[in-house]
Structure 1
Amino acid sequence: MCGRYTLLADELEILQEFDINQPIEGYHQSYNIAPGQKVLAVIHDGKGKRAGYLRWGLVPSWANDEKIGYKMINARSETAHEKPSFKRLMSRKRCLVIADSFYEWKREGKEKHPKRIQLKDRKLFAFAGLWDKWSQGEGDLFTCTILTKEANSFMQEIHHRMPIILPKSKEDDWLTPNQLDPTEAYQFLQTVEEEDLSAYNVAPYVNAAKNNDETCIAPLA
């Protein structure tokens, strides 16, 4: 799964890396991004790419209660094209969720130890995501979920699931609206190339979402 991650890049780095032409309103760095928070994402509005904030935890447009979002921070890529909550989004509302590392907890006996995981050859990258708009009461709520898959050989030592990190060459293909039907989107995700990862231990300090400073990423001695 993916339950915490970081984004420490400067705004200009992000604009250049993802070919965004407009400033990111309210951009801020974070050492400990958690479900329920606003996360930086890129969507295609039919005319071009734009970056902005979505709340992490998908609330489908048809949901009766926005609290469902806390149960939908991740979506299994193997079944998303079949599930009512995600099927329509796989075709029409795909997004990039921007990050530069993520955390995962490795179980050792009765304890879990956090690790920070990065790409070896790239600083910034994008998780494959889905988004939706929920309209009830006052205003609209824009939310997202991160797609996951079975862990690769590197991640298997840490956790049995992992977020889908899109290769740079596949980011625009994922974003382009209505180019893929749900089954094609599923097939696309199953064939994306994997990139080399690295990991190091960090302190349990990161376990608390309220903690958001350099201590979160400090290597554990």
Structure 2
Amino acid sequence: MCGRCCCTLNPEDVPRACGINASSIPVIQSERYHPSYNVSPGTYLPVVRKERGANSEPVVHSMKWGLIPSFTKKTEKPDHFKMFNARSESACEKASFRRLIPNNRCLMAAEGFYEWKKDGHKKQPYYIHFNDHRPLVFAALYDSWTNAEGEVIHTFTILTTRCSSALEWLHDRMPVIFGDDDSKNAWLSSLPSTKVVGMLQPYEGTDLAWYPVTPMMGKPSFNGPECIKEIQLKHEQSATISSFFSKRELERKITPESQKKSSSKSPNCEDFVKEIASTDNSESFNTPDHDDSEAFEITQAVKKCGTKRVFEQLDDSDGNVLKGVAYHNSLSIMDIASDKSQLPVKRKSGVPNQQTLLSYFGRC
């Protein structure tokens, strides 16, 4: 496929690029052609064709890129993006192109063309050209169409073929490129269609070069030498899940042995709670602000273990609230606290079933 190209050639240089060495060749409607680094369908470009008749001399004719068949209705709005390319494999079968192959063959010259490489949701344009910067010459077909105002408009389409082995990574189609003068002259000659169709093959020469260019040239309004300036692609390294876990595994391997040993000696929470509960009151923490110092001991043990406990209130038969009971992984320490738990906690008068400070912090 070829939907953008670079053509800054002078109309007088086009015949020589197409293998025609005549000293003077007529140029038709050259004022409509404007050199550009970013040419898209609907733009006038110089093409080489041969005059019909006995003389059949070559001429340079500025035509619009994007074929409009002659049988198109005069009142119909032309769409140059519909047929700016024609598949060479099926050109002899479609009415729009089949009737043009015998007598309406032409050549189109340009310094290079652009093709986009798809990368997910992104597209990166590449500029394809010859190593020695000589113009590329494409096989093309032309036609003429008369609009409602009576103006005759000449249009052309570029023939494409399967991509060469060197460019398969970029796209599956490419324009038909004639690399030697013999093939160019044969295409412009009066040879029958059956003999010239076999010439429409991928260009397998090793003198084609390519490089990435700015994505800005995807806009038809973007023009200038910046369109063909080579850029350096930035390959972003995306962190995948596998690489993340690989990094974590590497960090574990390089962890100092001292850290491993210290972490392996962490106290068992259940044993610690039992030890605190079984100790004498003389070993209690300094809790001047707490009435229930033994319960506070259990609370501090819970906090030191770093494990969340759920404290509940139990009422004895007289309606007094017993101190909080902690549950650790479904293991009740009621038995641990029962020997020393007959310490009633007074409720504030007038406020029944008020939560204790211990039970409040125990639920955090």
- What is the TM-score when the length of structure 1 is the normalising length? 0.91
Shift of 1:187: 2.0
Counterpart of 1:173 in structure 2 is: 186
1-side partners of 2:213 and 2:197: how far apart? 34
Letter aligned with residue 207 of structure 1: G
1-side partners of 2:26 and 2:104: how far apart? 22
Counterpart of 2:296 in structure 1 is: none
After superposition, the Cα gap between the structure-2 partners of 1:16 and 1:92, relative to the gap in structure 1 and judged at 3 Å, is closer
Gaps of 5+ in 1: none
Counterpart of 2:61 in structure 1 is: 52
* Same amino acid, percent of matched pairs: 34
After superposition, the Cα gap between the structure-2 partners of 1:152 and 1:93, relative to the gap in structure 1 and judged at 3 Å, is same
Shift of 1:139: 1.3
Counterpart of 2:299 in structure 1 is: none
2-side partners of 1:135 and 1:172: how far apart? 29
Counterpart of 2:235 in structure 1 is: none
1:108-154, Cα deviation, whole Å (9 max, x unpaired): 12211000001225511211000001123221010000000111111
Counterpart of 2:6 in structure 1 is: 6
After superposition, the Cα gap between the structure-2 partners of 1:152 and 1:62, relative to the gap in structure 1 and judged at 3 Å, is same
Letter aligned with residue 175 of structure 2: P
Of 159, 165, 176, the residue aligned with 1:147 is 159
Letter aligned with residue 132 of structure 1: D
- How many residue pairs end up in the alignment? 218
Letter aligned with residue 188 of structure 1: M
Matches within 5 A, 1:1-221: 1-18=1-18, 19=20, 21-22=24-25, 24=27, 25-26=30-31, 27-46=33-52, 47-64=56-73, 65-121=76-132, 123-137=134-148, 138-169=150-181, 170-177=183-190, 179-181=191-193, 183-190=194-201, 194-196=204-206, 197-221=208-232
1-side partners of 2:144 and 2:192: how far apart? 20
2-side partners of 1:86 and 1:66: how far apart? 20
Going by fraction, where is strand more abundant, 1 or 2?
1
2-side partners of 1:57 and 1:11: how far apart? 19
1:81-107, Cα deviation, whole Å (9 max, x unpaired): 111100011111011011110000001
2-side partners of 1:204 and 1:145: how far apart? 25
Pick 1 or 2: higher relative contact order, CA cutoff 8 A, min separation 6.
Answer: 1
Gaps of 5+ in 2: 233-364
Shift of 1:23: 6.1
Q: Which of 1 and 2 has greater Rg?
A: 2
1:55-95, Cα deviation, whole Å (9 max, x unpaired): 11101111123524321010000000111100011111011
Q: Secondary structure at the match of 2:141?
A: strand
Going by fraction, where is helix more abundant, 1 or 2?
2
Q: CA RMSD in A?
A: 1.9
- What is the TM-score when the length of structure 2 is the normalising length? 0.56
